[in-house]
């Protein structure tokens, strides 16, 4: 198993702390408690912060905030968050749900009529192991709320609207048994829990917002052909980061 970084060993050598290259550290992941003093656990997390600055700077910053941020919420850059494919896939999942609902509503609309449609969807997100997002947020939620106006003229229904996406996840160490951290091996999840219990760290809420607009048309089809729907989504680059 990968050894804990030399920096941790030097800090704790005099007190004889556990090393993550011991099988016992891996086995502690099966337990609810590590059995180690909170001071040693905090030193381990601080060493992870320092060793991760160059490779995973965002993850290191959020782990540091877990230790020193007093529980204050943090906002993630929507540009950084949407750089991950798993986030864009969740966004697209909710977009398709809106499109399906709008297509159904368009079929019901009579000629010359217009209507508002309000809808919302949630998409659960599981980050891929090894990505920086995984070390910030393993499991999160994207809530999307949309308002649209539909107007029919003959066989064509024009659609326009706005969707507000809200990504959120509580930063905590409550799920799973351990997490593999490069240069530190398998770190028990219980380390984070015990730091919170001893008031050495605080859970906090992570959030991000972004807005998209939708323009499209739904065109009736003649039997046996089905109708056609075309939608275009655009990102609004204003407001919250």
Whether omega before 209 lies within 30 degrees of 0, making that bond cis, reads: no
Residues 169-183 have pLDDT tens digits of: 999 998 778 888 888
What pLDDT band is residue 21 in, cutting at 50, 70 and 90? Answer: very low
Model confidence, pTM: 0.83
Instruction: Give the residue carrying structure tokens 């016992």.
Output: 24
Answer whether residue 112 shows pLDDT above 60. Answer: yes
CB 55 within 8 A of CB 182: yes
Say how far apart CA 178 and CA 219 lie, in whole Å: 53
Residue with tokens 């060793």: 51
pLDDT value, residue 224: 53
**Helices marked H in the chain:** 6-12, 23-27, 38-52, 57-68, 78-81, 85-108, 132-136, 190-197
Instruction: Give the containing element (helix H, strand E) for 137.
Output: none
- Give the start-to-end residue ranges of the domains of the chain: 6-236
Percent of residues, the chain, with pLDDT higher than 70: 83
pLDDT of residue 1: 39
């Amino acid at each position: 198993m990968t050894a804990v970084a030399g920096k941790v060993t030097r800090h704790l050598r005099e007190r004889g702390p556990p090393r993550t290259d011991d099988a016992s550290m891996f086995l502690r992941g099966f337990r609810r408690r590590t059995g180690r003093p909170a001071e040693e656990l905090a030193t381990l997390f601080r060493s992870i912060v320092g060793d991760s600055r160059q490779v995973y700077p965002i993850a290191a910053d959020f782990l540091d905030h877990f230790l020193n941020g007093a529980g204050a919420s943090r906002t993630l850059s929507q540009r950084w968050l949407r750089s991950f494919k798993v986030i864009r896939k969740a966004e697209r999942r909710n977009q398709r749900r809106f499109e399906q609902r709008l297509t159904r509503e368009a079929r019901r609309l009579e000629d010359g009529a217009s209507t508002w449609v309000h809808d919302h969807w949630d998409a659960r997100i599981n980050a891929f192991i090894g990505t920086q997002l995984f070390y910030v947020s393993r499991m999160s939620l994207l809530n999307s709320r949309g308002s649209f106006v539909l107007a029919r003229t003959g066989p064509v229904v024009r659609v326009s609207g706005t969707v507000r996406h809200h990504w959120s996840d509580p930063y905590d160490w409550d799920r799973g048994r351990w997490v593999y951290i490069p240069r530190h091996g398998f770190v028990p999840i219980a380390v984070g829990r015990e730091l919170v219990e001893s008031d050495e760290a605080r859970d906090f809420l992570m959030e991000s917002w972004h807005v998209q607009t939708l323009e499209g048309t739904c065109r009736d089809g003649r039997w046996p052909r089905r109708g056609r729907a075309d939608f275009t989504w655009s990102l609004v680059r204003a407001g919250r980061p």
